[in-house]
Amino acid sequence: MSVRVAVLLLLAASANARSLPQPTLTASAGGAARKDEHPLIRPVSGGLASCTAEICTLPIDRTKVMMQIATDSKGLVGTMRNVIEKEGAGALFKGAKPALLRQASYQSIKMALYEPIRDAVMRATSDDPNADPTLWQMILAGGIAGAVGTFLTSPTDLVKVRMQSGASYDSVSAAFADVYKDGGLTGLWAGWVPNCQRSFIVNAAELATCAARPPARPARPRRRRPTTVSHPRARRPMRAGTTSSSFGC
């Protein structure tokens, strides 16, 4: 999961690191949307970026699950080689369908909820409606948005992990039906508490770090066109990826 977060935010950094005019922010700053930005832009782009990161890192995720359930782990490379030898290279992508379903829904929900929750926290805790959000307000809003998104999509994560750990199903819908048959409706949310706890920590670090704006610095003449990594607009998502990965390990 931590690798996925880092890859996702690096993708976001690449998309944003172009020399474009700085966007006009609404009165509620700290990562606010452009005035002319459609409300679905961030949820949809977040879902698409997350799906891209998910499919790129799925072999590592499958290997991680196999290492977690193994009694004698052979390490990352050894476990991956063992999976390929026994099941073929395609086995590294087991659980791709529920994984993509989870990422598309989870990231879209999280991105759509963050700013409304942040604004609600600001209204409840600040006397100045035009004040910028403080760091702790963004941390709380990011954690709540991530936890809610994780709770709502917990069944997809459960099915993904079961498929990655070796369970065989004819389809994703058959997997959901089998889980429901064994544990009922509540069975689909097995493990949601630790999932939401981890998601709160990861997203509190990720969203707050990405949205936080550093103090303004005096303008300095540029000697060369900034690269994807060195551009100022690329630093926030990269910083957020590093922070959230560290807290979510």
Domains of the chain: 2-214+226-247 (1.50.40.10)
**What pLDDT sits at residue 36?**
72
Q: How far is it, in rounded angstroms, from Cα 120 to Cα 123? A: 5
**What pLDDT sits at residue 128?**
84
Q: Which long-range contacts (CB under 8 A, 24 or more apart) does 212-220 make?
A: 212/30, 212/31, 212/135, 212/138, 212/236, 213/29, 213/30, 213/31
**What pLDDT sits at residue 113?**
93
Query: Which of 55, 19, 163, 165 minimizes the C-alpha distance to 173?
Result: 163
- Global pTM value: 0.70
Q: How far is it, in rounded angstroms, from Cα 237 to Cα 199? A: 18
- Taking the CB of residue 228, how many other CB atoms lie within 10 A of it? 15
Q: Which residues of the chain have pLDDT under 70?
A: 1-35, 211-249
Q: How far is it, in rounded angstroms, from Cα 38 to Cα 35? A: 9
Q: Token match 């452009």: residue?
A: 34
